[in-house]
């Protein structure tokens, strides 16, 4: 009985809008091998109710791309992106399967994209949390949460103590996963406050509060250190120039040119001609 109930619980956290049926999960993606035999997974998408088959399919696509890649053609394996973007539109599904996909997204430093008109709800949020870059806010995609729940088990005897133990264990697993992904454990607590029969969609402010920020802080630090090294700057000087970029370049249509110029020279854009990619001091 105990093993049966646990299997039902761990495989059965769905997050459907009330009274809407679940659509079977689907993983789409194609392997694109470029001229130098570097293969990547393109157009990777997870839609519908998430289950173990979906997690296995994502893993297989990534493994196939890696296996077909000529490693001698990849100068830096640490920066080799097998898949760069995973697009999500899902009402939820299996917690373990979503965590497995989320860990793959983190391992391969993926961007999670929730397009406009799409939703990433309940267990899907675990995949979203796993990505190193998360983009729902600029597209209008929706991120929704609610409490986990059991699938129906009409042929099984309901054991209150076993339900209590299994449910508590699952919530602990979710909290641990969020810590692993640098997301606040408070998000798990917030899930429990929302009845399983409804969905709470998170505002941008909510997402920031619980750590579902655009870029994972560890990834941000890694990229900043790499960029500082590339430019030959100390970390403190890179911070100073980053502040100038955010202050003076954010609202400009020529953001990339402006940012490149400021990072290269350390000067505010008013003192520079950044009409090209190479910064040239104005006379």
Q: Does the reported pTM lie above 0.85?
A: no
Could you give the CA distance from residue 87 to residue 89 in angstroms, rounded to a whole number?
A: 7
Please, what is the average pLDDT of the chain? 84
pLDDT, average across residues 152-159: 63
Structure tokens at 29: 């993606």
Range from 174-178, 209-213, 240-244, 249-253 carrying the lowest mean pLDDT: 249-253
Pick from 54-58, 153-157, 260-264 the range whose average pLDDT is largest: 54-58
For β-strands 85-89 and 111-113, DSSP reports them as parallel
Predicted confidence (pLDDT) at residue 155 exceeds the cutoff of 80 = no
Task: Decide which of 7 and 198 is more confident.
Answer: 198
pLDDT digits (tens, 9 = 90+) for 13-54: 433 333 344 567 799 999 998 766 788 899 999 999 999 999
Range from 37-41, 189-193, 260-264 carrying the lowest mean pLDDT: 37-41
Per-residue pLDDT band at 205 (split at 50, 70, 90): very high
Would you state the pLDDT for residue 272? 58
* Length of the chain counted residue by residue: 283
Is residue 87 helix, strand or coil? strand
Could you give the CA distance from residue 222 to residue 228 in angstroms, rounded to a whole number?
A: 10
CB 192 within 8 A of CB 171: yes
Instruction: Work out whether the CA dihedral 185, 186, 187, 189 comes out positive or negative.
Output: positive
Closest CA to 180 of 111, 85, 107, 245: 107
Return the H-helix or E-strand segment holding 173: helix 160-180
DSSP 280: E
Predicted confidence (pLDDT) at residue 114 exceeds the cutoff of 90 = yes
Pick from 24-38, 99-113, 252-266 the range whose average pLDDT is largest: 99-113
pLDDT, average across residues 262-268: 90
- Strands (E) in the chain, as ranges, are 26-33, 39-47, 85-89, 111-113, 119-121, 133-135, 142-145, 200-201, 272-273, 280-281
Instruction: Please give the share of the chain, as a percent, with pLDDT higher than 90.
Output: 57
Would you state the pLDDT for residue 161? 84
Distances (CA, A) of 241 to 227, 230, 264, 275: 11, 14, 9, 19
Would you state the pLDDT for residue 36? 64
DSSP 141: -
Phi, psi of 254 (to 5 degrees): -95, 50
For β-strands 26-33 and 111-113, DSSP reports them as unpaired
Distances (CA, A) of 10 to 33, 81, 99, 129, 257: 37, 31, 11, 19, 49
């Amino acid at each position: 009985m105990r093993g049966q109930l646990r299997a039902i619980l761990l495989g059965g956290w769905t997050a459907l809008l009330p009274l809407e049926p679940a659509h079977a999960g689907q993983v789409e993606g194609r392997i694109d091998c470029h001229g130098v035999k570097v293969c990547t997974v393109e157009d990777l998408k997870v839609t519908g109710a998430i289950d173990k088959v979906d997690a296995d399919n994502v893993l297989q696509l990534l493994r196939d791309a890696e296996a077909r890649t000529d490693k001698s053609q990849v100068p830096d394996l640490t920066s080799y992106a097998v898949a760069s973007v995973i697009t999500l539109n899902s009402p939820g599904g299996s917690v373990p399967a979503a965590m497995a996909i989320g860990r793959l997204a983190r391992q391969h430093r993926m961007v999670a994209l929730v397009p406009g008109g799409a939703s990433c709800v309940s267990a899907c949020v675990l995949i979203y949390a796993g990505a190193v870059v998360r983009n729902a806010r600029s597209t209008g995609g929706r991120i929704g949460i609610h409490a986990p729940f059991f699938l129906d088990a009409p042929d099984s005897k309901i054991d209150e103590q076993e339900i209590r133990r299994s449910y508590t264990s699952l919530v602990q697993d979710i909290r641990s996963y969020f810590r692993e992904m640098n997301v606040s454990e408070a998000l798990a607590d917030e899930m429990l406050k929302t009845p399983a029969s409804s969905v709470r969609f998170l505002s941008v402010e909510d997402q920031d509060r619980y750590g579902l920020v655009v870029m994972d802080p560890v990834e941000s630090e890694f990229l900043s250190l790499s960029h500082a090294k590339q430019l030959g700057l100390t970390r403190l000087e890179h911070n100073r120039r980053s502040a100038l970029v955010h202050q003076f370049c954010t609202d400009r249509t020529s953001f990339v040119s402006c940012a490149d110029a400021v990072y290269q020279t350390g000067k505010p854009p008013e003192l520079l001609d950044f009409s090209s990619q190479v910064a040239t001091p104005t006379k």
